[in-house]
Amino acid sequence: MLYTISIFLHFFLYSELSNTTDVHLSFGRRTGCIGSGVCAIEKPESYHKSTYDALGTIEVARENIILKINKSSISVADAQTQFKDQTFRMEEKLPLSENLTAAIGGDQNRNIPAGTYNVVESKNHYEIMF
C-alpha cells in the first residue's frame, strides 16, 4: 500500500503540468497552407488569419502535445481529407508560437514534428497526440 501511494505521489509531483488552451487552426503545410498538416495554430485572440478551418484545444501531457479538434467546427470534406484512414500527416514541422507555448506551459522551443500520427475519433472530437 505504501509503495502504491509513493508511486502515485511521484507521478503526481513529477509529471509535467499543463494547461488546456483553446485554439483556432488552419490545415496544410506551413508553406502556402495547402496539403496535409497544420499550417497555423494559435489562441483565438492571437490568430493572425481572418478565417480558420477548425476549433479545438491543445495541451501537453507527459511531453506529448495533444490536439483535440471539435467535430462540429470542421467541415466533413476537411475531416475526410485530413484524417484519411484515421491518420494525420504533418508534411512539415510546425513551431508553436511563444504565446501559445506560454499558455500551455513547457519548453519555449516546442514544435509539432513532421510525421504521420493516429487520429482517435470520439463523439465530439478528433484527438491527435504528437
Name the grid cell of 67: 490536439
Residue 3 lies in a domain: no
Residue 88 lies in a domain: yes
- The answer to whether 98 and 108 are in contact (CB under 8 A) is yes
Per residue in 67-108, pLDDT (tens digit) is 999 999 999 999 999 999 999 999 999 988 888 888 888 667
Q: Specify the number of domains making up the chain.
A: 1
Residue 4 lies in a domain: no
Residue 9 lies in a domain: no
Residue written as grid cell 478551418: 53
- Overall average pLDDT of the 50-71 stretch: 88
Strands of the chain (E only): list them. Answer: 21-27, 38-42, 54-61, 64-70, 87-90, 94-95, 111-112, 115-121, 125-129
Per residue in 21-38, pLDDT (tens digit) is 899 888 887 777 778 889
**Residue 49: pLDDT over 80:** no
Q: What distance in Å separates the CA atoms of residue 72 and residue 56, rounded to the nearest whole number? A: 10
Domain residue limits at 69 = 16-129
Residue 41 lies in a domain: yes
Residue from 27, 18, 41 nearest 91 by CA: 27
Q: What is the pTM of this model?
A: 0.78
**Residue 12: pLDDT over 60:** no
